[in-house]
Amino acid sequence: MGDLKKSEEHLVEALKKFEMNQLNKEDFATTFNNLGYLYVNMGNLPKAEVFYLKSLKTRLDLFGEKHSLTATSYNNLGYLSDNMGNLQKAEEIYLKSSRLDLFGEKHSDTATSYTNLGREICRNQKSFISKILKPIWISSEKSILIPSLHAII
């Protein structure tokens, strides 16, 4: 998996240089996101959450709600919440991400959002059919069904 401590040192150093030189805020958001990912891999989920939230806030400030990088930040937070055992929070975040409707129904990122949301609803033992599949079936007359959802059922 590589040297995670060394990766951490490089990413923290990058943040310091960005701050010192007041570089592009998009670089901050990406580095925050990368630190969050690193801390997930190190098993330090609370620290990962701090950096994923910083990444989300920066991306919201830069790009607003309807941007693919903002959606990525939401997805990362949903994944993290899931791993922290906060399934309700994960579901809420995945639902928010899936409703951004950035790419249209036939895009693989849309399928990923539905898959993540469907998994959380199943894990929360809520009605998977009424919350996920029914709306997709209704709209499937003009679009494709998302195959990855069928594996969950």
Q: How confident is the model at residue 142 (pLDDT cuts 50, 70, 90)?
A: very low
Tens-place pLDDT, residues 17-72: 877 776 677 878 888 999 999 999 999 999 999 999 999 999 999 999 888 888 88
- Among 113, 110, 114, 99, which Cα is nearest to 65's? 99
Tens-place pLDDT, residues 68-89: 888 889 989 988 998 898 888 8
What's the chain look like in SS3? Answer: CCCHHHHHHHHHHHHHHHHHHCCCHHHHHHHHHHHHHHHHHHCCHHHHHHHHHHHHHHHHHHHCCCCHHHHHHHHHHHHHHHHCCCHHHHHHHHHHHHCCCCCCCCCHHHHHHHHHHHHHHHHCCCCHHHHHHHHHHHHCCCCCCCHHHHCCC
Say what the pTM is.
0.67
